Amino acid sequence: MLQRNKFGYHRCWREQAVGNDQAFAELGLPNDASESEIKAAWRRLASRWHPDRNASAQAVARMQRINQAFEAIQRARQGGDGAAEPAAAPEPPPPAEPARPAHPPIHRKLKLTLEEAAAGCIKALRGKFTPTCSHCEGLGHRVLGSRCRRCRGSGTFVRPSAWFGWPGQPEACEDCAATGIAREHCKPCEGRGTLAEQDYEVQVRIPPGVREGDLLHVAARRAPADLEVQVGVAPHPLFTLQDDGSVHCKLPVDGFAWMANRAVTVPTLDGVQTLALQRDRQRYELPGMGFPLRHRGPRGPQLVEIEPVFPEKSSTDQDILLDQLIASHASADPRLAEWQRTLRARARKRSRG
């Protein structure tokens, strides 16, 4: 019959009692482990195998075995009859989070253009993933808890000498990795600690306004594990991004077009835009055409600095046109006309004197 024990997990009370050696082995401990080591092992395993944190199929059964092992050790040490529950049992981890994949997150780096980072985008990430073996938790072996037979729990053994009468040399025991605790080879992963490599492809939605170094968490859906994506933003050939969200752009324009207040085409993160020049201005602001101040937030301005470009040496045709322009302007502007009359009058006075 299924009942709920004080740890908050269901277990079947009709199952065969767990032996003391088997209980220690289930927690990965030697038989002489201290009370604090037992509780620490239980918390560690419960945090990993709690069904609310581990979505694997074997999580429920493994959690039941962990609880049974902990209770069996407590009953044996307290000399109980099997019906009493331990009084100083550790608190179980709260089931506050939804089910998660059993594997650690996959870490990826993703490079974006400045336009992609500003507007947001969807990127396909493909790769290969090597799952950790859940049977041995990536160790490649399972700790049995009893003493190693080869070294009798010492962690070392003496290899007999090839020469009769010579003492053997002590060596680290390979069967228990010099721990003195018996272990067995993990069959599902063949001792590697990892399972067969898997391919994955995930569509990652990048929110508008991500910056260089931002870390995005992508929950596993079609991937074997969650993804931790570190964003990078490539340098742009035209724009410079500032901390306040403004985007700076330097734009060379024809000096004569600037003098004539003509319109020019300006690049922006959203495409191109027409800008009417003013010959008394060299800096312009395009509101809302910059970078988001925060994720999905309002965008800052684009600041455009123009650089009027004039020919280093004018041609004959340009000189003729410039002379015509100067003459027409001098006669049209009363200030220049008055100045020319003043100069001529002064010249006549000096010639008479």
Q: pLDDT at residue 96 above 50? A: no
Is there a domain that residue 270 lies in?
yes
Query: Residue range 295-319: average pLDDT?
Result: 90
Is there a domain that residue 190 lies in?
no
Query: Residue range 317-331: average pLDDT?
Result: 81
Same-domain status, 70 and 44: yes
How crowded is the C-beta side of 93, counted as CA atoms within 13 Å?
21
Mean pLDDT (the chain, rounded): 80
Query: Residue range 91-118: average pLDDT?
Result: 73
Domain containing residue 178: 141-185
List the one residue out of 136, 115, 125, 344 whose CA is nearest residue 226: 125
Q: pLDDT at residue 18 above 80? A: no
* Confidence bin at 253 (pLDDT 50/70/90): very high
pLDDT value for 10: 40
CA geometry: angle 31, 34, 37, nearest 5 deg: 100
CATH number at residue 113: 2.60.260.20
Q: Between residues 163 and 61, which one has the greater pLDDT?
A: 61
Query: Residue range 238-253: average pLDDT?
Result: 95
DSSP at 131? P
Please report the beta strands in 311-352, taking only residues with DSSP state E, as ranges in sequence order: none
pLDDT value for 250: 96
pLDDT value for 163: 61
Same-domain status, 341 and 283: no
Same-domain status, 73 and 176: no
Is there a domain that residue 101 lies in?
no
Is there a domain that residue 212 lies in?
yes
pLDDT value for 86: 43
pLDDT value for 338: 82
Same-domain status, 57 and 20: yes
Same-domain status, 226 and 111: yes
- Give the position of tokens 């990965």: 28
- Express as a percent the part of the chain with pLDDT over 90: 29
Q: Between residues 275 and 221, which one has the greater pLDDT?
A: 275
pLDDT value for 1: 34
Query: Residue range 14-25: average pLDDT?
Result: 63
* Confidence bin at 97 (pLDDT 50/70/90): very low
Same-domain status, 49 and 161: no
Q: pLDDT at residue 16 above 80? A: no
Is there a domain that residue 165 lies in?
yes
CA distance 22 to 6: 22
* Confidence bin at 84 (pLDDT 50/70/90): very low
pLDDT value for 162: 59
pTM of the predicted model over 0.75: no
pLDDT value for 166: 64
Tally of structural domains, the chain: 5
CA distance 237 to 249: 10
CATH number at residue 21: 1.10.287.110
Same-domain status, 243 and 334: no
Q: pLDDT at residue 104 above 60? A: yes
**Residue 218: Cβ within 10 Å count:** 19
Give a three-class secondary structure readout of 277-289.
Answer: CCCCCCEEEECCC
Is there a domain that residue 150 lies in?
yes
Is there a domain that residue 36 lies in?
yes
CA distance 5 to 134: 25
**Residue 342: Cβ within 10 Å count:** 10
Q: pLDDT at residue 3 above 60? A: no
- Give the position of tokens 């989070």: 97
Same-domain status, 229 and 278: no
Q: pLDDT at residue 76 above 60? A: yes
Is there a domain that residue 191 lies in?
no
* Confidence bin at 5 (pLDDT 50/70/90): very low
Same-domain status, 6 and 74: yes
Are 115 and 96 in contact by the 8 Å Cβ rule? The answer is no
Same-domain status, 33 and 63: yes
3-class SS of residue 220 = coil
CA distance 223 to 108: 13
- Express as a percent the part of the chain with pLDDT over 70: 81
Are 198 and 128 in contact by the 8 Å Cβ rule? The answer is yes
According to DSSP, the β-strands at 283-286 and 271-276 are: unpaired
Same-domain status, 229 and 114: yes
* Confidence bin at 8 (pLDDT 50/70/90): very low
Same-domain status, 17 and 72: yes
pLDDT value for 289: 95
* Confidence bin at 95 (pLDDT 50/70/90): very low
Domain ends where: 205, 233, 261? 233
Q: pLDDT at residue 181 above 90? A: no
